[in-house]
Structure 1
Amino acid sequence: MKTAIIGTGNMGAGLARRLAGKRDLILASRNEAAAKSLAAEIGASSAPIASAVAQADIVVLALPYASALEFAGAAALEGKIVIDITNPLKPDFSGLLFGHDTSAAEEIQRQAAGAKVVKAFNTIFAELFAASPDQTVTLPVFLAGDEDAVETAAALVKDAGFAVEKTGSLDAARLLEPLGMLNIRLGYGLGRGTGIAPKWAAVKA
């Protein structure tokens, strides 16, 4: 399946590097030169945004929330699996714009009604993509969405060198986005750094 990554910032570029050579990958950005340069570096292809979306089966929105929401309403995403990696942060990064009664993923799904949106990677800092995959293979990427779409996204997560933690339907993003905010607070506000990620542990009594 062809995977398009929209956005070449730290998250988009980091994920692209992890998927290079494992996926039929096409990169796109408003900065077409940046997408072309990164694609050449990692052996992927690049295209203008509309063309990349048209070619892809999976579209990763590696964009800030507001841009991802706008994109979802404007792009031809019908029939695509759309992976939302955003956290809906306030402009001053002090918290989330909303939570518990909706989520960024659900708002994006409303804009892209013909697509299947999956929440993923929102608890992963970009720095972790630069780590060796053997350091991240047990770190979970939490997934929420339609069961079939989540299965497809799970294969991408494994290709990227992470573990899969399924959390149910898309409304679980209402829980995952506050978890992402907690990770941001620990990493930046409390000085833990950006080499951290949440992980569930099972303890036998």
Structure 2
Amino acid sequence: MSIAILGLGNMGKGLAKRLAGKTDIVFGAHDNAAATTFAGLLPGHIKVANYHDAAKISDIIILALPYAAALAEAGSNRAFDDKILVDITNPVNADYSGLLMGHSTSAAEEIQKAAPRAKVVKAFNTIFSSLFDAPPAATANVPVFVAGNDAAAVGIVAALARTAGFASEEVGDLSQARLLEPLGMLNIRMGFGLGKGTGIAPNWVTVG
């Protein structure tokens, strides 16, 4: 199974570091030279292409882009059709003080509207990029919450989260992103606004 990572910001690079050597990876990048240099630092053979070609030759596409760019790409890239499209965004406003939307829709649902033939799955939006630099054993019990309308796609992305060294928690259909994105915003607020740092992640515990 081949995975395209579109965008090599902190989240894209973090996912690449955790997945390299475990699955086939294609970097979708605007700066091919920088992407090729980064690929050379990782295990396994990693291809580099533009966004369209990376998506075309992959089974799973991870939108490791800011929300506005992810939405625009979903609306224009027909190579997303019939593919699993993983939305990891939080639709934060310009000063990171809150979300652009919530409760009646979500970034994931808007991306699904823009790419109606893709199988959009929400995941990884409650994970700070710094966690990818921790030893996998340290994140083995950190959940990646996964939501989507296609049960098979949700299961595949949940398995991908485990391959990346996390636990997985399937939480229902794509409308559950309306809850996951505010949870991601709370994590951002606690990490930066309340000074807890980026080594945190939400989790649930069972008592009794």
Please report how far the alpha carbon of residue 47 of structure 1 lies from its aligned counterpart in structure 2 after TM superposition: 1.5
Which of 168, 175, 182 lines up with 1:171 in the alignment? 175
Aligned residue runs from structure 1 range 1-205, under 5 A: 1-42=1-42, 43=44, 44-76=46-78, 77-145=80-148, 146-204=150-208
**What amino acid does structure 1 have at the position aligned with 2:15?**
L
Deviation at residue 51 of structure 1 after TM alignment: 1.1
Structure 2: how far apart are the matches of 1:155 and 1:41?
Answer: 25
| Partner Cα distance (1:161, 1:98) in 2 | 30
Please, which moves more after superposition, 129-138 or 31-40?
Answer: 31-40
Separation (CA, whole Å) in 2 of partners of 1:32 and 1:14: 18
1:78-137 deviations in Å (ceiling 9; x for gaps): 110000000000011110001000000000000010000000000000000000000001
Letter in 1 for 2:145: F
Q: With the length of structure 1 as denominator, give the TM-score of the two structures.
A: 0.98
Task: Assess if the C-alpha contact under 8 Å between 1:8 and 1:34 holds in 2.
Answer: no
Tell me the TM-score normalized by structure 2.
0.96
RMSD: 0.7
Stretch of structure 1 that moved more, 43-52 or 58-67: 43-52
Stretches of structure 1 that go unaligned for 5 or more consecutive residues are none
Runs of 4+ residues over 6 Å off in structure 1: none
Cα-to-partner distance string for 1:1-45 (whole Å, 9 max, x where unaligned): 110000001000000000001111111111222221121211322
Q: Which range moves more in the overlay, 180-189 or 37-46?
A: 37-46
Letter in 1 for 2:132: F
Deviation at 1:193, TM superposition (A): 0.1
Number of residue pairs aligned between Structure 1 and Structure 2:
204
The one-character-per-residue Cα deviations of 1:144-170 (angstroms, maximum 9, x if unpaired) are 002111011011101100000111000
Mapped to 2, the partners of 1:96 and 1:118 lie a distance apart of 19
**Aligned residues with identical type, % of pairs:** 58
